[in-house]
Every structure is written in C-alpha cells, then in structure tokens.
Amino acid sequence: MTQDSTTFGDSTLRGYLGELAAKVPAPGGGAVAALHAAQGAALVAMVARYTTRAKDADNRPVIDRIIEAADTARERSLALADADAAAFTAVGNAYKLPKETEAEQTARGEAITAALLRAARVPAAVVAEADEIVSLAMELLPIGNPNVVTDIGAAADCARAAAASSQLNIAINVAALDSAAGAEFAPVLEQIEKVIARADALHDDVVAAIAR
C-alpha cells in the first residue's frame, strides 16, 4: 500500500516507483514480486484476447477460460502486493514491542513469529500465482495468435521473476524462524525451482517459435 493511494492497483506508476525508490520500509521486493505476477497474468490475458479471431473459433472455450483465469490471477496478485506491504509493516511493529519484563518478552516473541509467518506466506502465495501463470502461458502458446507470441515469453519471464524474487523473501523470513515453523515452506521452495525451470523452458519455446 502506497502513501498516496489506497492500494497498488489504484496508484499511478510514477507514484509507485517513487515510493519504491524512497527510503521507506515498504513497498519493497515482495510487492515487486507480486506485481511481476500481475504483469505476467495481464500479458497472458492480452494474448488470449488477441486469439479471438474467426479462425480461433475451435479454441474459443479454452481461450475464454484462459482469459478468465488470467484476469483473476492478476487481481489476486495485485491484492498480494498490498498484503506484502502490510505484512512487512507488521514485522517491523512486532520487533518494536517492549521487552522489559518476562511477559513482555514472551508476547513480543510470539508476535514476531506470527508476523514472520505472515510475511513468508504472502510470497508463498505469489509463487502459486506464478505457477498458474506459467501453466496458462504454456497452454496458450500452441493456440495463441502468433503475432503476439513474444508476449507469451514475456509473461513467462514475469512469472519467473515473481517466483525468484519470492524465493528471497521467503528465505529471509524463514531464516528468523525456528526449524519447526520454517518447515512449512519447504514445499514452496521446491515449487519455486520447478516454476523457474518451466518458465525458462517456455521462454526457449517462444524463441524457437519466432525462429520458425
């Protein structure tokens, strides 16, 4: 959430970039990862909408489903950008809690753990969005309008960036948790590697399609 608007979705691009460049805690890399995913979803939806010509009639049910799924993923990803900013703020607030007494120390420790878990779960959700975007882009490539095929590759690259950036944000929060709490994110970290590999393969497929 930026200072000059209610949500990232409502902010201007210049305003968002100004906030990102400023010496403020949020937005940061987590919001950037979510917005990478949102851009990837938007690119998938755009290519799908360009694949609604008369010659695409046989694929129209699939195209319509991809458009709906991509539009929904875009909105979820935008919401995750706001959630990341809120989660990062909550972590900072938890560390500022008093710790003079034993009771305060216990409460502070519990608040920090809860905030760190929340802060790691947001990028984990971004990874899920990135995974879906790659899947939609892969499904779209063989039937998408070839005039905008490069945008399928760009969508894959956005999803890859979303997953890779989320990996960093999960890792730094998990590093501050005990092993039991951090174990929740092991499957997500494995999923990230698969998303990156699939996105890279799709990028290469698009490059090959251009060369044909």
Instruction: List pLDDT tens digits, range 61-83.
Output: 999 999 999 999 999 999 999 99
Instruction: Measure the N-to-C terminal CA separation of the chain; round to a whole number of Å.
Output: 44
* 180-196 exposure pattern, b = at least 16 Cβ within 10 A, e = fewer: ebbeebeebbebbeebb
Mean pLDDT of the chain, nearest integer: 94
| 113, amino acid identity | T
- Backbone φ and ψ of 122, nearest 5°: -65, -55
Instruction: List pLDDT tens digits, range 72-128.
Output: 999 999 999 999 999 989 999 999 999 999 999 999 999 999 999 999 999 999 999
Half-sphere exposure (Cβ direction) of 193: Cα atoms closer than 13 Å: 4
Give the integer Cα–Cα distance in Å for 113 and 131.
27
Instruction: List pLDDT tens digits, range 5-59.
Output: 568 888 899 999 999 999 988 889 999 999 999 999 999 999 999 999 999 999 9
Is there a contact between 185 and 170 (Cβ–Cβ < 8 Å)? yes
* Fold entry, domain 26-211: Four Helix Bundle (Hemerythrin (Met), subunit A) (1.20.120)
Give the integer Cα–Cα distance in Å for 82 and 125.
13
The domain ranges of the chain are 26-211
Instruction: List pLDDT tens digits, range 159-195.
Output: 999 999 999 999 999 999 999 999 999 999 999 999 9
